[in-house]
Amino acid sequence: MEQLMDVLSADERQRAERFHFAEHRSRFIAAHGAMRIVLSACGAGAAKDLTFAIGTNNKPRLQTPEHARPLSFNLSHSGSWGLLAVATEGSIGVDIEEIRTLDRMERLAQDTFAPGEYVELSALDEMRRLDGFFACWTRKEALIKADGRGLEIPLNCFEVRVDPDAPAAVLRAWGAADAINAYGLWDAPPVQGYRAAVAAPHGSYDFKYFYIL
């Protein structure tokens, strides 16, 4: 933990110290320290020297020196796991969520998801519905993070596949969310008790996945 703290910026250290619970502070340090180390290993520069700017809708981006490799990235963390995606071109978005029981899950889905998604979720067997909810949630979150507008995009103006056992896919998008049609969607390899998804512009990708334990 000391080594990870050492690569953080002064601002990141201050943010870490503001966490009330030690567990949350440690998770922040681990996620952001590991992010810097991975970006450095991918050619962005020395981990401790990396600087970030806040883009539209508070999405962080690397301020890349002339000699360093331009990269896009996105970080998400939930529970005991973090998920970092790094791309050499194009925007990328990820989301990871710990699968947990939610109060009023059905109402949340009805208020948040597109009508077709809610119908598909309701049609799932009750034992698969919680997994379906988080499959849908992570797929949608990854897309709006890749797009860069975040929650400016109405979540009920685009549909993704809800079935947790079927490949992730964008089914359709309209209105303010029309640009979502330009993105592909993939489920990340499973971690027990979690759902995760990755979104990037349509194209040919060679995904490589690494676990840091």
Least trusted range by pLDDT, from 46-55, 65-74, 137-146: 65-74
Residues 64 and 161 occupy one common structural domain? no
Q: What percent of the chain has pLDDT over 70?
A: 99
Give which of 36, 34, 39, 50 is closest to 1, Cα–Cα.
Answer: 34
> Can you list the alpha helix ranges (DSSP code H) found in 102-159?
105-112, 115-123, 126-147
Interatomic CA distance for residues 83 and 186, integer angstroms: 14
CATH number at residue 179: 3.90.470.20
Q: Examine residue 99 and state whether it is found in any structural domain, yes or no.
A: yes
Residues 185 and 100 occupy one common structural domain? yes
- Answer yes or no: is pLDDT of 75 > 70: yes
Q: Examine residue 196 and state whether it is found in any structural domain, yes or no.
A: yes
Residues 140 and 187 occupy one common structural domain? yes
Residues 196 and 108 occupy one common structural domain? yes
Residues 19 and 56 occupy one common structural domain? yes
- Answer yes or no: is pLDDT of 163 > 80: yes
pLDDT in tens, 14-62: 999 999 999 999 999 999 999 999 999 999 989 999 999 887 666 788 8
Residues 102 and 61 occupy one common structural domain? no
Which of 70, 86, 120 is where one domain is finished? 70
Least trusted range by pLDDT, from 56-60, 92-96, 199-203: 56-60
Quick check: 184 and 168 in contact, CB under 8 A? no
Burial, 23: exposed, middle or buried (Cβ in 10 Å; 0-12, 13-18, 19+)? exposed
pLDDT in tens, 23-33: 999 999 999 99
Residues 103 and 197 occupy one common structural domain? yes
Residues 194 and 98 occupy one common structural domain? yes
Residues 106 and 195 occupy one common structural domain? yes
Q: Averaged over 95-103, what is the pLDDT?
A: 95
- How many folded domains does the chain comprise? 2
Residues 151 and 55 occupy one common structural domain? no
Quick check: 5 and 29 in contact, CB under 8 A? yes
pLDDT in tens, 102-138: 989 999 999 999 999 999 999 999 999 999 999 999 9
Residues 104 and 62 occupy one common structural domain? no
Q: Examine residue 137 and state whether it is found in any structural domain, yes or no.
A: yes
Taking CA atoms, 161 is separated from 35, 90, 143, 211, in Å, by: 29, 23, 13, 26
Q: What are the E-state strand segments in 22-118?
A: 52-54, 60-62, 72-78, 81-87, 93-98
Q: What percent of the chain has pLDDT over 90?
A: 77
List the domain range (segments joined by +) for residue 177: 94-201
Encode 142-164: b = buried (16+ Cβ within 10 Å), e = exposed. Answer: bbbbbbbbeeebebbebbbbbbb
Q: Which helix (H) or strand (E) element contains residue 48?
A: none
Mean pLDDT score of the chain, rounded to an integer? 92
- Answer yes or no: is pLDDT of 69 > 90: no
Residues 112 and 34 occupy one common structural domain? no
